[in-house]
Amino acid sequence: MSRRTILRIFSTVLALILLCPVFAACGNPVPETAVPAPGPDAASAGETDAAAETEITRENLPDTLPSDLDFGGKSFTIYYSNGFNWTAFIEGGEELTGETVSDTVILSNESVSNRLNIDLEYYAENSGDWSTITSLVSNLIMANDSSYDVYLGEQYGLTQTAVKGFYRNVFELPYLDFSQPWWNVTFMENLQLKEDTRVFLTGDFNLTTLNQLFVQYFNKRIYLDQFGDPDELYGLVLEGNWTIDKMSELIAAAYRDLNGDGRVDTDDQLGYVAYMTASSVDPFMYCADIPFTSRDSDGKIVIDMNQERAVTLSEKVVSLFNQPAAYTKGTETFLTGGALFCNGLMRSAEGFRNMEDDFGFLPSPKLDEEQAAYRNLVGDCNLFTVIPVTCVDADMAAAVLEALNAQTYRTVTPAWYEVTLKCKYSRDLVSSEIIDLIHDAIYTDFIFAYSPMISQMGQVMRDLVTNNNTNYMSNIASKDKVARKGLERMYKDLDKNMNP
């Protein structure tokens, strides 16, 4: 059986999965128009069938690429940083194995290859991670290595190369249609130094963005034993009342000195655990929807950290992390049922599958109930896409990326997000609704993404929490001058390197 035939069969199976009762039970009822209602005669039934076939759904949403686009069998190679083992999400496995996500990725890539008549290949750089990708990419481009048409690398590392002139301004290329739902437009806009210059791309093809979303997990048994129905927490979230104060209150109330030694340790029942203090603080710095940056009349970024809401936020966050019931040196206690809350990423859910206790998902809390919406930060190890200046055919690269993002949106994201995450890892129906809310609040901030170049201004909350210090204004004042000079230098380098 040919791969093309397998593709058609798998696409049909996936469509059936998305309409099956299991999928509907995960919070996504089948639309009434998805299955034609019986008609009074064969003619009317046929008309209904034809209408159903032409109905636009996520799985067949058209893109704007020319239907006759053909690159004549050219090779196209994508280089990606793989220190965190992203292969299953980017190129899939070596063959179809029945694993939903990996198989769907294989067939998505196959579909794009056939459609554009290209030989799509991948190179996994297993030494690549947030700390090495800067030098790896820089070395390739400085050597004028044209082996790779597209790079995928960690946000933390790639932003440090943003102004070096290494990448094409995608606004100058054809085929990319940012009006389509498979592009994370607001996310990309927040990364732009100039409104007319975009070098970093992120969309559904960058499934690592969803994987790297910060979320707050909670133990449903502990909540039930001490506070009542766990759905109360979901209710707070959906009503817009899930706040830092409420989370801190629950953390403190959840503590139990189980070994009776009068000291807080991991043998007790803890209120909150996190892998480490540093990165676990980041989502709390940005959960309050405070506009730390703006744009001037020329569309350039202006840093504006001197805000009263940020003072209030820092006081609450420092208090949350430094209360006795909060432990930030590992999450094992949550896995064994010994903590109410756990800071993690969306992909952490896979590691919780074998927990004896049921767990739930929550967004990062708001600063207060008056805040309009939740904000969920994406960790800085998510992968960005760039088209390097060494790419021999940048127009082809743009077409391939548009096709990959579109096809991932149609098939891969539903396979991971709807089937795998919401049904396989989530343990209740309401969690699915919460996960949707978390997804819709995806966010990054310019000062977070570019923090290494602006005196680590985007991580000031880490310093405050680590030192149990609530003097926010003093902290930013100590960094402000250096940060502004760093930003000014970035613009000078951008103008020099992007417009030589």
Fold agreement (67-209+380-425, 214-377+440-475) = yes
Dist. CA 499–CA 497, nearest whole Å: 6
The pLDDT value given to residue 431: 85
Q: How far is CA 313 from CA 244, 281, 308, 321, 465, in A?
A: 9, 12, 9, 12, 12
Extents of the domains making up the chain: 3-54, 67-209+380-425, 214-377+440-475
Q: pTM value?
A: 0.86
Confidence (pLDDT) at 421 = 86
What CATH number matches the domain at 67-209+380-425, 3.30.420.40, 3.40.190.10, 3.40.50.9100, 3.30.1330.90?
3.40.190.10
> Which residues, in sequence order, are bridge partners of residue 499?
none
Report the pLDDT value the prediction gives residue 12, as an integer from 0 to 100: 37
Check if the beta carbon of residue 352 is closer than 8 Å to that of residue 217: yes
User: What confidence score (pLDDT) does residue 429 get?
Assistant: 79
Per CATH, the number for 214-377+440-475 is 3.40.190.10
pLDDT (tens place) for every residue of the chain, 500 residues total = 444 443 443 343 333 333 333 333 333 333 333 333 334 344 444 555 555 567 899 999 999 999 999 999 999 999 999 999 999 999 998 999 999 999 999 999 999 999 999 999 999 999 999 999 999 999 999 999 999 999 999 999 999 999 999 999 999 999 999 999 999 999 999 999 999 999 999 999 999 999 999 999 999 999 999 999 999 999 999 999 999 999 999 999 999 999 888 888 889 999 999 988 889 999 999 999 999 999 999 999 999 999 999 999 999 999 999 999 999 999 999 999 999 999 999 989 988 888 999 999 999 999 999 999 999 999 999 999 999 999 999 999 999 999 999 999 999 999 998 888 888 888 887 888 898 898 888 889 999 999 999 999 999 999 999 999 999 999 999 999 999 999 999 999 999 998 65
Three-state SS string over the chain comes to CCHHHHHHHHHHHHHHHHHCHHHHHCCCCCCHHHCCCCCCCHHHHHHHHHHHHHCCCHHHCCCCCCCCCCCCCEEEEEEEECCCCCHHHHCCCCCCCCCHHHHHHHHHHHHHHHHHCEEEEEEEECCCCCCCHHHHHHHHHHCCCCCCCEEEEEHHHHHHHCCCCCECCHHHCCCCCCCCCCECHHHHHCCCCECCECCCECECCCCHHHHCEEEEEEEHHHHHHHCCCCHHHHHHHHCCCCEHHHHHHHHHHHCECCCCCCCCCCCCEEEEECCCHHHHHHHHHHCCCCCCEEECCCCCEEECCCCHHHHHHHHHHHHHHHCCCEECCCCHHHHCCCEEEEEEEHHHHHHHCCCCCCEEEECCCECCCCCCCCCEEECCCCEEEECECCCCCHHHHHHHHHHHHHHHHHHHHHHHHHHHHHHHHCCCHHHHHHHHHHHHCEECCHHHHCHHHCCCHHHHHHHHHHCCCCCHHHHHHHHHHHHHHHHHHHHHHHHHHHCC
